[in-house]
């Protein structure tokens, strides 16, 4: 979201904070944060112990009942605090202004991040999930990394900054949708040496297809070795799809060509995934519980069936937690999870290239 109420600023934007999981990963990489968290957990557990001991001494209830009540209270406090933290983080916004000398951030008053030494980089490539593009800015020793969600650049664009992978040592401090990120890049380009080239219509765009983590639900409860091997394979793509111009190529992870056809011969069908109903009718599914907790509508996850001549049909979904939206209109429902998942940026690219943009 962007606003322009400040006459002293060329443009003002309202950016999103990094994902809550990324913040947690940052803390786990900081030894001081780990030590503080460990001390806090020990203090919390000792507090519950002394509370249970005090209640036992002043009541006539058995010690076992008192300890069970206190443990339940501790669990409610712990998970309640986590929920409040996630909800507060998701609603937080970061104000960004583009001024004459660079970029300012409301949460960092006094700092002006100059455009003169700005650098572009990728976002999520090292983690396997292509999130978009990043803009790296400096203000003395302080660094600010702005991400462009689902943003793509064309061949020839200089990407000099390190990749900002999800949970990696370098990750984004805030992010904007692709359209607003393009606005900032156009301003940066006029005041720096950053040269952004949009993807050409005939340029091949690479899409990595990863195994769907939900497929582990289809394995037996006691197939421990099979489950372990599957979990180890989640970080490696199963297929590579290049789309550009009027051509679609499918390759194996080693780059060997499996099919190369025109887009006119490729068929894409939108479908919606919904988890199987519970075996016990009165026990809600995980999706139903989450929809009630977060007060969001229960909808079918968007997936598509892509049929390429000479290959088995591919069912493709989106990585969980991408914030994607359902298909527009009614689509067939499917209770089996997709075979492959891609990032939201890649999913949107396939939607556009395969003629499903209207859905």
pLDDT at position 6: 43
Top mean-pLDDT range of 79-83, 88-92, 247-251, 273-277: 247-251
pLDDT at position 3: 45
Top mean-pLDDT range of 49-58, 219-228, 253-262, 334-343: 253-262
pLDDT at position 122: 83
List, for residues 45-58, the tens digit of each pLDDT value: 878 777 777 777 77
76-77-83-87 Cα dihedral, nearest 10 degrees? 140
Res 161 pLDDT > 50: yes
User: What is the 8-class DSSP label of residue 280?
Assistant: S
Backbone angles phi, psi at 37, to 5 degrees: -65, -40
- 94-95-97 Cα angle (round to 5): 140
C-beta of residue 249 within 8 angstroms of C-beta of residue 239: no
Q: What single string gives the DSSP state of each residue in 177-228?
A: EHHHHHHHHHHHHHHSS----PPPTTS-EEEEEEEPGGGGGGS-TT-HHHHH
Question: Within a 10 A sphere around the Cβ of 57, how many other Cβ atoms?
Answer: 9
Would you tell me the crossing angle of helices 31-58 and 63-91 to the nearest 10 degrees? Answer: 140
Taking the chain, what is the end-to-end CA distance rounded to the nearest angstrom?
Answer: 23
Res 90 pLDDT > 80: no
Mean confidence (pLDDT) of the chain: 77
Who has greater pLDDT, 22 or 335?
Answer: 335
Res 253 pLDDT > 90: no
Query: How many angstroms separate the CA atoms of 7 and 287, rounded?
Result: 46
pLDDT at position 5: 44
User: What is the 8-class DSSP label of residue 261?
Assistant: E
List, for residues 267-299, the tens digit of each pLDDT value: 999 988 876 655 445 555 555 565 555 555 555
Q: What's this model's pTM, rounded to 2 decimal places?
A: 0.62
Who has greater pLDDT, 292 or 5?
Answer: 292
């Amino acid at each position: 979201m962007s606003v322009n109420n400040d006459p002293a600023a060329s443009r003002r934007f309202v950016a999103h904070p990094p994902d809550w999981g990324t913040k947690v990963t940052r803390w786990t990489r900081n030894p001081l944060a780990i030590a503080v968290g460990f001390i806090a957990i020990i203090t919390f557990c000792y507090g519950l112990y002394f509370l249970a001991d005090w209640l036992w001494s002043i009541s006539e209830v058995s010690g076992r009942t008192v300890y069970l009540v206190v443990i339940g209270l501790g669990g409610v406090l712990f998970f309640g605090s986590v929920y409040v933290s996630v909800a507060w983080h998701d609603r937080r916004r970061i104000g960004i202004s583009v001024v004459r000398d660079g970029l300012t951030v409301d949460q960092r008053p006094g700092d002006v991040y100059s455009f003169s030494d700005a650098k572009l980089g990728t976002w999520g490539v090292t983690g396997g999930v292509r999130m978009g593009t990043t803009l790296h800015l400096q203000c003395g020793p302080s660094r600010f990394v702005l991400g462009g969600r689902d943003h793509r650049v064309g061949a020839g664009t200089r990407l000099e900054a390190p990749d900002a992978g999800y949970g990696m040592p370098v990750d984004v401090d805030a992010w904007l949708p692709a359209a607003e990120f393009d606005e900032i890049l156009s301003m940066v380009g006029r005041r720096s040496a950053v040269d952004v080239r949009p993807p050409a219509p005939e340029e091949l765009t690479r899409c990595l297809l990863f195994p769907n983590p939900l497929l582990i639900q289809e394995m037996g409860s006691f197939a421990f070795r099979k489950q372990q091997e599957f979990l180890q394979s989640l970080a490696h793509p199963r297929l590579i799809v290049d789309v550009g111009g009027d051509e679609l190529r499918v390759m194996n992870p080693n780059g060997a060509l499996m099919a190369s056809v025109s887009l006119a011969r490729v068929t894409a069908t939108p479908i919606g995934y919904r988890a199987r109903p519970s075996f016990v009718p009165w026990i809600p599914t995980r999706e139903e519980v989450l929809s009630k907790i977060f007060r969001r509508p229960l909808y079918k996850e968007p997936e598509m069936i892509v049929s390429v001549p000479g290959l088995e049909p591919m069912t493709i979904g989106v990585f969980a937690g991408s914030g994607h939206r359902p298909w527009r209109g009614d689509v067939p429902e499917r209770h089996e999870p997709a075979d492959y998942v891609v990032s939201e940026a890649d999913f949107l690219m396939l939607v556009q290239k395969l003629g499903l943009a209207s859905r």
